[in-house]
Structure 1
């Protein structure tokens, strides 16, 4: 027994040093990617809330692991297999013609999962799935932002104009050229530019992130996960064009400055969209009998 304890202690130290060494190397390898993601999230306002959601999910998963799992850094077969997949994906970014950003995002997710497996074990990785899934979705959406900006603006302007026309309002939608193209809604002598900030990408990102994180957290079936993610898209688009409609209707009629009206209504429809995704997830994850179960009588 006296000979075993020093051996176990040395083994734990060796495992700790190995895990720390691998983590440092991976941090240096993926630092450019993480710095770029941070800069884009800070510069593009539509992505800032999404970045906060991912960080919040990471912190919650970390707290859960610290409360329920034993921290025992060691090199495991499961962790090495995850690390191998991450390295292969990283290699593919430099040796194939495939889009590099998706490969880098998924590669980092596997590398991070490997470190989690080394520290918390297989259960720790399972508990971190919501945060890892959210990170992957967020990274992929960042890459899609330039391509989706104009289509999302066009959809928002088109549906907003159609809704106001259906309501009997004299609205007109114009495409203004002669520089960067602009979509302009004209209503009652006022012009409203559907700018990049109005494309709804922030709500779309947050809705998809919330659907992904909650779907993985509640361990919904694959069909329900896919349905929840697909639902998040029309919810985001619908809330965004209704936000534009409400701004056009209320801005001239309330004794508040336009920026104040814009922020109040924008935040209101943003929260409405997230609430719809949240409620739908709760209904999909928790049986009705449990949702409506009365609280126990006090003793």
Structure 2
């Protein structure tokens, strides 16, 4: 996978292009990731963005940030349509690729909300252009005229798309989360119950309508359809700890700006479980086991708005 760090092409123009790209790289990655839900594909989009940006005459560019966002959006839209076809043949549920995020992501509440696993799954229900418009307008506050250029629509049409997408997301978006202290308390209780196979402990911390989604990608064993309900999820988790060979450890981490757990078997990364908590109870569990989606859990990823 490319690091998408451009090579300086030399000369003042080449250096200016490189500096502009690097200055906005984390923003561009965040735009691509929110549109795609895949860090690997977002990195590829950034590589394609750099190749196009390096050929641009900078003297004709009034706003370099806006121009880079426009290139990234167009490349991400092309990739999003390809990704949609890949998902059709994906084995089991598809979950976004988890990111081990820097502490400042959690501090930016709006950014953390926009990249949460729950929100990214809501964005999956939008059409590609709707997703691009929503992300650019509601997350990054890009102007309608700029969005129109990025998605090849008129500003009036973009406003209509934004209104429709906003209503769609509002009807499905996660509820407001509890305070950080309550979140940590619920996560700690959940972790202890899983580690000890404590069925009652799990029932105490799981919401009645909790949903567990697993993504093994056909490579690792995972539930092939969502498991709904505290009793079913608790029994599955408490029984699972007794069926694993080897030493199991669970460690709290920040994934996509929210509390999560990393599960290791004999010290090796096995799964990432993103946890959604509402009103002090666990309402969503998103377990990613597909090894191809765990490469961004070995180092922190910086996201920017």
Structure index of larger Rg: 1
More strand by share: 2
Higher RCO (CA < 8 A, seq sep 6+): 2
Under TM normalisation by the shorter chain, which class is it? under 0.3
Q: TM-score, normalised by structure 1?
A: 0.27
